[in-house]
Chain A
Amino acid sequence: MLRFSILVEHWDLYMQGFGHTILASVLALIGSLALGTIIAIFRIAPIRPLNWIGTAYVEFIRNIPLVLIVFVFFMGLPAIGIRFDSFTAGTLGLMVYTAAFIAEAIRSGIQAVPKGQMEAARSSGLTYLQAMRYVILPQAVKIVIPPLGNQFINLVKNSSVLGVIAGLDLMYFGDLISSKTFVTFDVYIFVALFYLVLTIPLSLGVGYLERRLLKAR
């Protein structure tokens, strides 16, 4: 039987961790959406050097373990005088990492819009950016939302990497409570439940959006 007393006694710590996990996830999501969109545009813009930068970003970041990227922000950058607290370093690492995946999702969404759409828009005299904005992106969004939702779920789970650098998230407080109480199993079960509280609604939400977008043309 689970020892709910642990949950009750350390509710404040759990809540602190839960709050930081949400905060890190939301901040990293916003940041990675912005950065990922820019990288995606770099990858598909009709300008070669930008393509290279975009591709290099995606390939490097995607193929390095997340923990390593977080270490760069937490221990690498301080070596050249840029210092972050552990929460900030973790969130930045999370953002940079997730941006690579979001960029790929957005890129493939844009490229899934039939070529004729861009041709029709450009041949009517719209500029590349206008064609993107009014014709391509509104169609790409529908394609991109489900994979983006999945990336967000991954992001929430990946935020546990903050625990490794004492980033004040759920995982960190789980470790803390466990070392205070010498209880492992129960403590981490509760941690897992807190993650599920976040990810299950997200997962259901993504499924719902997916079905709705399928219906809408």
Chain B
Amino acid sequence: MIYFHQVNKYYGDFHVLKDINLTINQGEVVVIIGPSGSGKSTLVRCINRLETISSGELIVDGVKVNDKQININELRRNIGMVFQHFNLYPHMTVLQNITLAPRKVLGMSEKEANDIAMYYLEKVGIPDKANAYPSALSGGQQQRVAIARGLAMKPKIMLFDEPTSALDPETIGEVLDVMKQLAKEGMTMVVVTHEMGFAREVADRIVFMDQGRILEEAPPEEFFAAPKEERARVFLSRILNH
């Protein structure tokens, strides 16, 4: 589904991603962890070309992402993305936020789009907020709307870029629950997070990154029990024992 082969990325002189090789299969939940500045977010943002790669090969859903010939909008409609800061459209209601892309990209009628939006709002547990504006919602509610907005396009892949990092501790759980449910239903998910509990419980695979490199790739039980890399051990001990 997602295939990185020898991918490198530079910001000017700064080498952000170094020789990335990674394959993510359909239905897999891959959680990327690592210290900040290690390139996790950049890696995820390359998948829908919010960032371009400098060299190597990146194939998503059978499409060479950095090929100039491809229609990037066509690829993007199959990839939902959830951001750290939600990025809901503040001038639109929750319902309008969710229906914008289905209507304008997929050409759905308003009625059809509204039905789908309501379906996903039920799913994330806040159908009563359909006509509210984002500013009237809590962080957790906003992030659930953002997830519903992504799902309404019926994507093949969902990307999560630190979806709980900007949340109140009290509302993190409600967002993680929605993500767990999604994982159970077989969605292909790439998640950047610092939530180790979630990673342990939901991930099929943990990818550990540091300084632009993938240092370790392992199933969660293996990774958390005995990380092979020294850097990963240090990271885990810092994050778990404090």
Contacts and interface: CB of A to CB of B under 8 A. Distances in A.
Contact of B91 (A114, A119, A126, A217): A217
Most chain A beta carbons < 10 A, residue from B81, B104, B149: B104
A130 B76 CA distance: 14
B87 A126 contact: no
Contacts, number: 62
The interface residues of chain A, by DSSP majority, are classed as helix
A144 B202 CA distance: 46
A117 to B, nearest CB: 6
* Size band of the interface chain A makes with B: 10 to 19
B76 A124 contact: yes
Interface string A166-187: 0000000000000000000000
Contact of B77 (A116, A125, A139): A125
Interface residues of B, number: 26
B135 interface: yes
B83 interface: yes
A162 to B, nearest CB: 39
B90 interface: yes
A198 interface: no
Nearest to A130: B104
Most A CB within 10 A of own CB, among B85, B100, B105: B100
A123 B105 CA distance: 11
Contacts of B150: 124
Nearest to B78: A125
A95 B91 CA distance: 31
A126 B89 contact: no
B155 to A, nearest CB: 9
A122 B81 CA distance: 10
A11 interface: no
A126 B83 contact: no
Interface of A: 114, 116-117, 119-127, 130, 134-135, 138-139, 142, 217
Interface of B: 48, 50, 73-74, 76-77, 79-81, 83, 85, 87-91, 100-101, 104-105, 133, 135, 146, 149-150, 153
